[in-house]
Amino acid sequence: MSEVVECKKMFYKDHVKPFEPHFIDLLGNDMCQADQDEVYATCGNSPKTGLVSSIMCSEKLVCYFDNDTLIGIGGVGKEQDGNGIPWFLRTNYFHSWKRKNLRSFLNSTKSWIEHMGESYPSMHNYVDLRNKESQNWLKHLGFRLTKTIDNYGYLKIPFIKFEKYNG
């Protein structure tokens, strides 16, 4: 199972809680539409099945909260070559919370990605071409959008590879 990210040095430690299995239901039953669409387009799974799959493949997890309200769960899987595969899935509450807390969100997620960079020589994954909000956020985090794959995943639709080299 996944290691919960140690948060002593991270900017957003007040927003992080250790993973608990019932968080799967919280997010799986309330995943934002863009993430539901991306999970289905990638692997044909329901939100909950996609979330469980992501959690089970992850070496590190972060569960991000606003007080007692779940905002999202993210993680990083590890490839055989040591590189990381980051992901983050959001609740419907995320969008209204982010509008009020944009600077905090951007700073804290950038802090988390920088911390993850200490464990992985590089990180990469793919983002749905339709998901412009996530593409902008990934750029803020220091990822480069490097290659469009025209027939990606279960739906065979365009996705963009994003990459970040650390060190």
Q: Take residue 31 and report the two structure tokens written for it.
A: 């995943």
pLDDT reading at 135 higher than 50: yes
* Contact assessment for residue 79 and residue 89, using Cβ atoms and an 8 Å cutoff: no
**pTM score of the predicted model:** 0.89
Orientation of helix 47-56 relative to helix 33-43, angle to 10°: 70
* Contact assessment for residue 54 and residue 38, using Cβ atoms and an 8 Å cutoff: no
Q: Alpha carbon of 24 to those of 56, 74, 117, 118, 131: distances in Å?
A: 12, 12, 26, 27, 23
- Give the model confidence (pLDDT) of 66-94 as tens digits: 989 999 999 999 999 999 999 999 999 99
- Give the model confidence (pLDDT) of 34-65 as tens digits: 999 999 999 999 999 999 999 999 998 999 99
* Contact assessment for residue 93 and residue 106, using Cβ atoms and an 8 Å cutoff: no
